[in-house]
Amino acid sequence: MRLLPRSFENRLRVSAGLIVTGLLIALPTLFWTHAMSFMLFITVSGALTGLGVLVYLVSLLRHLVVAEHQAPPAEPPTTPV
């Protein structure tokens, strides 16, 4: 099995870190009925989690594109005799 490039794993870690941080902030806001809690959820938690998801999708896309380019060339078709 071909190993995934290191940079892809790093991007996954960054993405997961952003999502975890965003959700850790979101958790207490669910128990606090206050205008500030709403603002925290929308601006900080929403932005961090959204950014994490975006980084994941972009890195996934980039990884797929790179994998496509690195694929071995197809065998030339054999000419019939």
Q: How far is the CB of 45 from another protein (least distance, A)?
A: 7
- CA dist 10 and 52 (Å) reads 13
By beta-carbon proximity to another protein, the closer residue of 27 and 76 is: 27
Chain positions contacting another protein, by CB under 8 A: 1, 3-4, 9-10, 12-13, 15-17, 19-20, 22-24, 26-27, 29-31, 33-39, 41-42, 45-46, 49-50, 52-53, 56-57
Q: How far is the CB of 78 from another protein (least distance, A)?
A: 33
Three-class SS string for 19-67? HHHHHHHHHHHCCCCCHHHHHHHHHHHHHHHHHHHHHHHHHHHHHHHHH
